Amino acid sequence: MIKVYNPELLISDAQDKLTQLVRDDFKPFILRCEQHKLCVLENENLILFSVLFDKCSPIIDEAQLTITLVSQKDESKIIAIKFADKKGMSYLQHYINSRKTYTKYMGPLAYQPVRKERTSLLSTESPEQNFRGILNLAILILIANHIRLIFENFQKYGLLITNVFWKFEMVQINGNPIMQALLALIINLLSGFGIQYLQFKRDFNPRFIRIFNIANIALTIIIPCYLIQGSHPGLNLIFLGVQFIVFMKLISYAHFLRNTYFYIQRIKQVQNKKVSLDNFFAEYEVNGENLKILEKYAQNQSKILDFQHYLYFLAAPTLCFQLSYLRTNSIRKVWLVKRIIEYIFVILFLLIIWFQYTEPLVENTYKMLSKAPTLMVLVDRLLKLAIPNTYMWIALFYGQFQCFLNITAELLRFADREFYKDWWNCKNLEEYWRLWNLPVHHWLVRHIYFPCLKSGMSRTVSNMIVFLVSALGHEYIVSASIGVIEAWAFVGMFAQAPFMLMQKKLEKLLKLQDSQLGNLMFWMTFCFIGQPIMIFVYYFRYLEKIGHPI
């Protein structure tokens, strides 16, 4: 059986036995028969099938031909041409395939290009289109441009990354300030657990416990910062990042367990009243899961302390202490190896970008601006620095949040791995700070924002305090790493709070909530203005400090 599917147009202008037969049986369709030639035009593909009976006459008789119309489940129609002789059908099938042709032209009355209301693809009212080809072109342009920059850099400076590691002085522990500061940090961590031991097992006065916690947390910032002065700023920056993580973890640990201690005292007072504890604790104070744990250990509060759980918290990719964490069933070894390899490549990429491109560019800019400080020179150097700076920023994000935190989570079987959201699509600065670093965001909300609201402050004031704390943290890490007290990072960070309020009002006024203008402004301020200026300012101060020759 030869089947022709879904014919949309069948033309007839002749009169013979076969044409009349088809016309009588299948009135919705029309066939054209020219002598012994049957033409069936199929679908929108306009493929013309030719069945020449005179060529097949030695083996095919017209009496052997049966034409039927078959209805399909999808309500489409099939014209079936059936032969009594399989040999004849096979011969005809072969001949049809050999004679299949395409229509070569359409007449002016058939081809009608203007047929419905449509819009141009690049118009804003057009449906969403696929611009993959333009993206491919943009990628090729970037690749070509960066290959040119690589050759230009190599011709100008040679290979600078060969002597990277001698710049980082790694000496014995008794003479290395980084190792001394790390030892002091370990003492602070042990002290943090010891203070809670005094609270839960020795029932010290909570006021003294609070003083001990404040002193220990303050020393976590002061002592290591003092010890690392004189070390390489690159190592200082890495260490201070780790130190600030420890600082935030100790605050979370002390704040959480202080509340835990007081809630346990409340449970002891009402536990014998044979009434559900839900009646004495609101959901915003203690959730159901934690309330069950506190009820379990109320009579023996010392069991709340678990040194292994404390160590797990210190190593886990979170800044907020909890009594329990979700865990995965096993460690995916192949997946883990892939993330480790990615992390190694990210580190190598960062070293190449900094030592081969960024550092020489900043030092040359320092010399140029010292001799001829003009606005044109500054703008030119900012634009030059913007490209490697953007690459470093994105690589740092990927290495830290996608690789390192996932490696740590996989090793510890830490289940909640939402370390970031789609910050690259943010419409304003507020969205960016809320999405790009979720561990820090959760810590600020839990230990700064909510306590401010609890004390009676408004949301606006609470948000300002959150930005104040964040600005102080950024300024501390940057200034302490180079040993020069500045305020540019603080001002740049804290000034975003009132700017975001103005941006919100402007978006409502101009109805720009759904436009891409906010996203473009975000990329411009971060990649081409804010971060390059911060690098210039702080690196210039560092060069002045070490007496760099002009």
Q: How many CB atoms lie within 10 A of CB 496?
A: 20
Q: Which residue has the tokens 């006021």?
A: 207
- For 34, the enclosing helix (H) or strand (E) is strand 32-34
Give the span between the Cα atoms of 254 and 267, in whole angstroms.
20
* Cβ pair 200, 301 in contact under 8 A: yes
Phi-psi sector, 4: left (phi>0), alpha (psi -120 to 50), beta: beta
- Which helix (H) or strand (E) covers residue 310, if one does? helix 307-315
Strands, sheet with 77-83, edge to edge from the N-terminal-most edge strand: 2-5, 77-83, 65-71
Structure tokens given for 265: 């005292």
What torsion do the CA atoms of 383, 384, 386, 387 make, to the nearest 10 degrees? 130
Query: How crowded is residue 5: how many other Cβ atoms within 10 Å of its Cβ?
Result: 11
Q: How far is CA 112 from the centre of its chain?
A: 47
Are the C-beta atoms of residues 9 and 41 closer than 8 Å to each other?
yes
Q: Coil, strand, or helix at residue 421? A: coil
Q: Which residue has the tokens 């044979």?
A: 274
- Give the three-class secondary structure for 358: helix
Can you tell me the distance from the alpha carbon of 129 to that of 512, in angstroms, rounded to the nearest whole number? 22
Q: What strands, in cross-sheet order, belong to the sheet with 32-34? A: 32-34, 37-42, 47-52, 101-102
Q: Which residue in 388, 493, 387 sits closest to 444, CA to CA?
A: 493
**What per-residue string of b and e applies to 59-96 under the rule 16 or more CB within 10 Å gives b?**
ebeeeebeeeeeeeeeeebebebebeeeebbebbeeeb
Residue 474 designated active-site? yes
The token pair at 470 is 């964040």
* Token code pair at residue 224: 């290591």
Are the C-beta atoms of residues 385 and 361 closer than 8 Å to each other? Answer: yes
Which of 94, 442, 447, 474 is catalytic? The answer is 474
Contact 389, 527 (CB under 8 A): yes
Region for 77 from its dihedrals, namely left if φ exceeds 0, alpha if ψ lies in -120 to 50, beta otherwise: beta
> How does DSSP classify residue 528?
I
Q: How far apart are CA 341 and CA 347, in angstroms?
A: 10
Distance CA 390, CA 187 (A): 38
Catalytic residues: 474
